[in-house]
């Protein structure tokens, strides 16, 4: 196995993204950790990601607009700090596949799991090399089939109520025809690359705004013909996956699995990185409902397996459900760590009706009550900056009934003893 690192290609004159680490906290940062009840539990640090949006989207990280994305420099820093080349790493809530991409780049074996077929598609696509000649040949086959396709032969989104609310009639027909010709591609790797470009086009051509994670109507941005957007996305993505190593320097395993249920796997992991949905922030089956429906997956099917939270309703009492689900998930992950394994969890607190909801502290209590033998070794305050700060600002709501955290925490756990 070649465990050497390879660079994520950055088509830009800007510097690659980096993480600034400070052990001396600013007064406001100490106050935030104190409000969260985390200040005296373990040594503390502050991490800030520096980098332009283009640099953060280097390589296959730039495939698909994924809201609430795990910052790639954070994943890379954790991988370097707590694992060595050739080690096995677990990401049980893979999301957009950030940890899998970084693990591949750093020569770590990785198991990426999620309950969402969209996430699994992205993980596989972002970590699989496809030569440009093969991807372009697949695109030409799809375009040829599109010419010969009957106008009435169209696919429809699955499990999406009132699709005409989100799509113009012409857009529905255009997407439906594209979905049909993509399904006809015989090679699975090429079909998934076509699908990744397709689902990445869905929201762009819809009547939904692309500026926020939540689905709001923005009729001015709707596009009747999805083909030009799809072609643009495909050319971009094909170039990105072609830059991946021709042969994987390590193993990437992508699995559908509910993290709240103990996995039946003989593997033991040196590092697990968990970036769960945040309480009162996003429900991914909801914000990715359009893409899931066009993949043929009813969003409610994914919703039933997600971590329970308070998306859109802002009810403090639902924090108990969130903590129960996330606590069960982390206890299951703990059992998969090896004797010297490390668990890193990145999550955030929130404010609802001006009440600070310390879900992170509640989670620590739930782990202790559940018999966890994890030992909290470090508390890191992630301070958003640049594009991340802009993203946070875009999620603020005008009413004060609901709010989100402006900073989040990375909890670093070590094993307290063998199981």
**Would you state the pLDDT for residue 14?**
52
Report in angstroms the alpha-carbon separations of 302 from 87, 100, 161, 308.
Answer: 31, 21, 15, 12
Q: Angle, to 10 degrees, between the axis of helix 132-148 and the axis of helix 227-242? A: 160
44 beta partners? 379
Asked whether the predicted pLDDT for residue 311 surpasses 70, the reply is yes
CATH 3.40.50.150 residue spans of the chain:
18-116+249-415
d(CA 181, CA 148): 10
Asked whether the predicted pLDDT for residue 151 surpasses 80, the reply is yes
Asked whether the predicted pLDDT for residue 225 surpasses 70, the reply is yes
Strand, coil or helix: 375: strand
Average pLDDT estimate for 184-191: 98
Q: What is the pLDDT of residues 335-355, one digit of tens each?
A: 999 999 999 999 999 888 888
Helices (H), 112-245: 117-126, 132-148, 163-166, 169-183, 188-205, 227-242
Average pLDDT estimate for 397-419: 64
**Would you state the pLDDT for residue 353?**
80
Asked whether the predicted pLDDT for residue 15 surpasses 90, the reply is no
Q: Are 384 and 405 in contact (CB under 8 A)?
A: no
Those residues whose C-beta lies under 8 Å from the C-beta of residue 186, and which sit 6 or more positions away, are none
Report the chain's mean pLDDT, rounded to a whole number.
Answer: 90
d(CA 87, CA 404): 35
Q: Are 190 and 129 in contact (CB under 8 A)?
A: no
Backbone angles phi, psi at 132, to 5 degrees: -60, -35
d(CA 105, CA 279): 31
Tell me the pLDDT band of 12, cut-offs 50, 70 and 90: very low
Average pLDDT estimate for 85-90: 97
Those residues whose C-beta lies under 8 Å from the C-beta of residue 139, and which sit 6 or more positions away, are 194, 231, 234, 238
Percent of the chain with pLDDT over 90: 78
Tell me the pLDDT band of 406, cut-offs 50, 70 and 90: low
Question: In CATH, what number does 18-116+249-415 get?
Answer: 3.40.50.150
Question: pTM value?
Answer: 0.91
Q: How many residues does the chain have?
A: 419
Region of residue 109 (left: phi > 0; alpha: psi -120 to 50; beta: else): beta
């Amino acid at each position: 196995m070649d465990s050497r690192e390879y660079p994520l290609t950055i088509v830009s004159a800007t510097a690659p993204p980096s993480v600034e680490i400070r052990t001396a906290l600013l007064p406001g940062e100490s106050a935030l950790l104190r409000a969260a009840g985390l200040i005296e539990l373990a040594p503390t640090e502050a991490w800030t990601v520096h980098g332009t949006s283009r640099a953060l989207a280097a390589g296959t990280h730039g495939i698909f607009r994924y809201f609430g994305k795990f910052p790639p420099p954070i994943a890379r820093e954790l991988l370097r700090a707590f694992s060595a080349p050739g080690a096995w790493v677990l990401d049980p809530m893979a999301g957009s596949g950030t940890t899998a991409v970084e693990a591949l780049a750093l020569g770590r074996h990785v198991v990426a799991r999620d309950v969402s077929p969209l996430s699994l598609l992205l993980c596989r696509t972002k970590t699989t090399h496809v030569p440009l000649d093969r991807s372009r040949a697949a695109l030409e086959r799809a375009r040829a089939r599109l010419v010969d396709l009957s106008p009435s032969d169209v696919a429809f989104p699955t499990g999406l109520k009132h699709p005409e609310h989100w799509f113009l009639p012409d857009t529905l027909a255009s997407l439906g025809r594209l979905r049909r010709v993509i399904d006809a591609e015989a090679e699975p790797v090429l079909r998934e690359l076509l699908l990744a470009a397709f689902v990445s086009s869905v929201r762009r051509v819809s009547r939904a705004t692309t500026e926020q994670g939540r689905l709001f109507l923005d009729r001015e941005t709707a596009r009747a013909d999805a083909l030009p957007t799809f072609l643009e996305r495909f050319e971009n993505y094909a170039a990105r996956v072609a830059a991946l190593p021709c042969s994987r320097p390590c193993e990437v395993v992508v699995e559908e699995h509910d993290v709240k249920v103990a996995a039946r796997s003989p593997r033991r992991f040196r590092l697990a990185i968990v970036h769960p949905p945040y309480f009162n922030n996003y429900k991914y089956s909801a914000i990715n409902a359009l893409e899931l429906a066009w993949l043929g997956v009813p969003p409610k099917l994914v919703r039933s397996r997600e971590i329970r939270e308070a998306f859109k309703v802002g009810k403090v009492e639902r924090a108990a459900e969130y903590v129960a689900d996330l606590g069960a998930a982390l206890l299951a992950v703990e059992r998969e760590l090896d004797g010297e394994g490390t668990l890193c969890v990145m999550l955030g607190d929130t404010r609802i009706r001006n009440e600070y909801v310390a879900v992170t502290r509640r989670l620590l209590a739930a782990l202790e009550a559940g018999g966890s033998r994890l030992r909290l070794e470090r508390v890191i305050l992630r301070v958003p900056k640049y594009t991340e700060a802009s993203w946070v600002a875009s999620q603020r709501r005008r009413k004060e009934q609901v709010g989100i955290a402006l900073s989040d925490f990375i909890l670093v756990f070590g094993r307290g003893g063998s199981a």
